[in-house]
Amino acid sequence: MVWNKIECSSKEELKSLQSARLKETVERVYNLTPFYKDKFSELNIRPEDITSIDDISKLPFTKKQDLRDHYPFGLFTVPMSQIERIHSSSGTTGKPTVVGYTKQDMDIWDEVMARVYKMAGATQKDIVHNAYGYGLFTGGLGLHNGAAKVGATVVPSSGGFTDRQVMLMKDFGATILASTPSFALHMAESAVKSSTNFKNDFKLKAGIFGAEPTSKGLKEEISKVWGIDYHEIYGLSEIIGPGVSCSCKHSELLHVFEDHFYPEIIDSQTGEQLPDGERGELVITTLTKQALPIIRYRTGDISSLTRIPCKCGRTIARMESVVGRSDDMMIINGVNVYPSQVEHVISQTEGLTLNYQIIIDKKGHLDKLDILVEVSDSIMMDSVGEMENLKKCIQHNLLNNLYIKANVKLVEPRRIERSVGKAIRIVDKRKENEVCH
């Protein structure tokens, strides 16, 4: 089932649309944001130099830091009176990446999300259980509005309260589950505990899972345990939120809605464009965004592209499921966190040194975070009460500022092994402990 015939358009038709839209976007950012005008001038480019989508590689990149530098609304190209919605990137400290949407941007977001739901086979008869977090994170409302657009019934359950969610899915007869993959598995565990008969008790037929990297094995397990089709959704706040791409029933690759979001793969060291089939950093240019158009955004996500049409009839480019990141961003149960943010929280607490190590592992199907921090020499390690308070204080600050639950372990000064080169701040055991299927 295809929502919009543009998804099956000819190469020529798509290219001509993309070229026209790129030209408009380039003019818009050049004329309305001093940031882009300066960047274009540094490269000696004027909007009239861009005549087709093939000229895109002449344009400068945009990085996450550029958005942070213009916090909160500095890169918006419309007055605030035209901004209908604000969201922000998950898990950030004082200065998150803020994104804004006009009415037209919201319509486009609904449109691409409707395409996603159609890929998952949704109709007016479906009941969507939406367990993505509602709020500044784009997951909850993004998945909500797309379901509404296809006319499905939405249960806006948001995250947490696992047992209750399982009960509601059963009682309400949910047919489509929308959640992070880790939460879907967590719910399955909870359902098993309450001796559920998956076949008889649930009516689920499909799931729309994303927001965090997931191995093939875990995808298969989710699909098997719930007895559903697995559709992977990819997206990021800076571009629109969820709805940049999604996988259909026929392939594990994700169809990129490239009439709105133009994808490229680059070598993250040299910035050179790479050919289809080669892995590199995914770069996306928005072609229709009004409030916050973005040129060649470096997602940091490693993937590859193919333009071979899919069995489902869609001809738009497909991307490989994200295989990793080019920077040190961690994704903990769907929340994005940089080690520097953890460091910031530690630095705000008296009695600690900045020698720390973040250890990520799996507990059941959820990510588990241990943070080892060396206390300073002035702290008496044998004062149990003082240590306990210190630990609670950091855990509280991590939860409040970064939305992450961590188990903090305070250790004596100089206990964390020093490395000869770069400090080893992150030990990610999730991959090595993954069960092979």
The binding site for ligand DLL (CB under 6 A) comprises: 89-90, 132, 137-139, 210-213, 232-237, 241-242, 299, 301, 322, 325, 331, 336
Collapsing DSSP states into helix, strand and coil, what is residue 400?
Answer: helix
Number of helices (H), then strands (E), in the chain: 11, 21
Shortest Cβ 67–ligand DLL spacing (Å): 11
Shortest Cβ 331–ligand DLL spacing (Å): 6
* Closest alpha carbon to 318 in 252, 249, 229, 219: 252
Residue nearest to ligand DLL (CB): 210
Question: Omega before 72 cis (within 30°)?
Answer: yes
Shortest Cβ 48–ligand DLL spacing (Å): 32
Shortest Cβ 305–ligand DLL spacing (Å): 15
* Choice between 87 and 170, CB closer to ligand DLL: 87
* Choice between 178 and 394, CB closer to ligand DLL: 178
* Choice between 139 and 280, CB closer to ligand DLL: 139
What is the DSSP secondary-structure string of 208-247? Answer: EEESS---HHHHHHHHHHHT-EEEEEEEETTTTEEEEEEE
* Choice between 299 and 304, CB closer to ligand DLL: 299
Shortest Cβ 236–ligand DLL spacing (Å): 4
- As a whole number of angstroms, the distance between CA 210 and CA 392 comes to 31
* Choice between 19 and 299, CB closer to ligand DLL: 299
Shortest Cβ 131–ligand DLL spacing (Å): 11
Whether residue 300 contacts residue 56, with contact meaning beta carbons closer than 8 Å, is answered with no
* Closest alpha carbon to 328 in 433, 423, 230, 403: 423
Token representation of residue 169: 């899915």
Burial class (CB in 10 A: 0-12, 13-18, 19+), 225: middle
* Choice between 13 and 320, CB closer to ligand DLL: 320
